[in-house]
Structure 1
Amino acid sequence: MKRTSRKIQATMLKKIARLLPVEVWKPRSPFETLIHTILSQNTNDRNSDAAMKKLRKRFRITPSVLAQARVRELIPYIRSAGLYTSKAPRIIAVSKIIQEQYRGRLWPILELPYEQAKERLMELPGVGPKTADILLAFVAKNPVIPVDTHIERVTKRLGIAPQNGNYETVRTSLEALISPRNRIPIHLSMIEFGRAVCKAPRPRCLICPLNKTCPSSNV
């Protein structure tokens, strides 16, 4: 793969944001955002949104309510999100911890400094670095870029992060190129770009607006 300068890399990211603008979504409560994000793991938005909608119709989405639920009660409502035999017990377990240890509130964690808050969130069942960063970015308004599979793929194909880079390497490589106020808009645009153009396993390089500068372009 040919190397590109940081200036070219930053220009490519700005071009993605300009061509594929996405409205920044407004989260519901911190706890609802957490549950929705757990449901979204290893599936697409359509499936996780459907599961969250069904779950919301049946249960109040609060730690006190979901902590009392049983796995077999949750499964019919979250089945569309996939991996429901794993996600249901995680939802119950994380609800119990938040209810018992944090009095049903996530803000005592979210208000901590970024690194400390992320470490504390990742102690919760079902919370990895991406889920933690989604909460810290969209709810707590930290200038951080959550890295999903689309963002990881695009970042590595653009030569911004090494092919063997882990989650934190990809995140920090991106953040070094993007001003804090632009990180969430570019995060959302990169996801759309990964879905529509820089697909896995076959990127649509012929129609890609970056095919003249992307080091992975096959044009």
Structure 2
Amino acid sequence: MPPSTRRRLRRVARRLARAYGVPPAPRHLPPVDELVLTILSQNTSDTNRDRAYADLRRAYPRWEQVAGATPGGIAKAIRRGGLAPTKAPRIRAALRSLRRSGVALDHPRALADKEDAELWDLLVGLPGVGPKTAACVLLFSLDRPHFPVDTHVHRVAVRLGLVAERAGAVAAQAALQEAVPPEDVYRLHMGLIRHGREVCVARRPFCSECVLADLCPRVGVGESR
């Protein structure tokens, strides 16, 4: 990331911090729990994700039970989260892969004692798990400064010119991971998500109300409000 863009990124971080204050503390779920929760979050709302997670835990109180369940049984349990036929086999495959790697699925410290690089490689090597999901586990469960890029973060970063317009989410995540100081990762991540949900929305963003308006080249923005 060029020095000028890094300077603008620091200004963005300060503005968002002033606008939105201190974000809620991370959930700090055990890593395996966070992994499953993040898979459930794909292409759905936080509310539906949380409902599906609660339903899954009621149906299968232990992760070993989920690993041994049928995809149909898991899909039935998580149906309120959406895309259950897709997410169910992903969850089961990820848990089974962890178990084959010697991970005790139901131990609360499972994965927590691994070094960052080892844990990262293990997570992104799981079926259906990419860099965003791996970063969520590291950041939200273990307070390790990895920068997840979801659709909101990606959209805002592109419009601000912090990453290339054609950069995909994986490339954007790598760029932000390299540029954001570790102590700012969580707060900036949460600020960008909130900004993307409330102001820099996908269609007709509220540019007239944006605290970043004077810093934003509005890359790819057509009609705004």
Quickly name the TM-score band, shorter chain normalised: 0.7 to 0.9
**Contact map agreement 1:24 1:188 (CA 8 A) in 2:** no
Shift of 1:213: 2.1
Q: Which moved more, 1:191-200 or 1:80-89?
A: 80-89
Q: How far apart in 1 are the matches of 2:86 and 2:115?
A: 30
The match for 2:209 is: 207
The match for 1:28 is: 29
Give SS of 2:101's match: helix
Q: Deviations over 1:188-208 (max 9, x none)?
A: 111011000000022110111
Give SS of 1:52's match: helix
Q: How far apart in 2 are the matches of 1:68 and 1:151?
A: 35
Q: Matches of residues 70-219 of structure 1 in structure 2 within 5 Å?
A: 70-105=70-105, 109=111, 111-216=113-218
**Contact map agreement 1:23 1:185 (CA 8 A) in 2:** no
**Contact map agreement 1:102 1:108 (CA 8 A) in 2:** no
Q: How far apart in 2 are the matches of 1:116 and 1:47?
A: 32
Q: How far apart in 2 are the matches of 1:192 and 1:128?
A: 22
Sequence identity percentage: 32
Q: How far apart in 2 are the matches of 1:175 and 1:15?
A: 19
Shift of 1:101: 2.6
Shift of 1:104: 1.9
Give SS of 1:98's match: helix
In structure 2, stretches of 5+ residues that fail to align are none
Figure out how many residues of one structure are paired with residues of the other and give that number: 215
Pairwise CA RMSD of aligned residues? Answer: 2.2
| Counterparts in 2 of 1:154 and 1:43: CA distance versus 1, 3 Å | same
Q: Which moved more, 1:169-178 or 1:202-211?
A: 169-178
Taking structure 2 as the reference length, the TM-score comes to 0.85
In structure 1, stretches of 5+ residues that fail to align are none
Taking structure 1 as the reference length, the TM-score comes to 0.88
